[in-house]
Amino acid sequence: MALTRDFKETVQARVQRDSKFRENLITEAAGCLLAGDVETGKTILRDYINATLGFEKLGAAVHKSPKSLMRMFGEKGNPQAQNLFSVFAYIQKKEKIKLAVHPEPA
């Protein structure tokens, strides 16, 4: 099911005005990736990037071409850990947050 333009615009507007919402998106993306749900993690990161800094600025910050980053976060993209970690490092710095991993009881 494709998202409607109104829905995408609504989410983008919220991302731009609500720092807690941005933090939750980043946390959710990291959690999905750590749980092995790479597709959802990439999708959330792509939405965050599109709604905030864009691929041009991110590419300059992490020394990757914007097109390479777009492919990496695309449907068929297969990002290397080094690239994902550099993106997360930049996003954490930009948002002034620090992600941490905590074990959950089994």
Q: Residue 92: CB partners within 8 Å, gap ≥ 6?
A: 26, 98, 99
Q: pTM, whole model, 2 decimals?
A: 0.87
The residue extents of the domains of the chain are: 7-95
Nearest to 29 by CA among 51, 4, 56, 10: 51
CA–CA distance, 50 with 18 (Å, rounded to integer): 15
Position 68, amino acid? S
Output the pLDDT for position 3: 59
pLDDT digits (tens, 9 = 90+) for 10-61: 888 899 899 999 999 999 999 999 999 999 999 999 999 999 999 999 999 9
7-11, 17-21, 66-70: least confidently modelled range: 7-11
Mean pLDDT score of the chain, rounded to an integer? 92
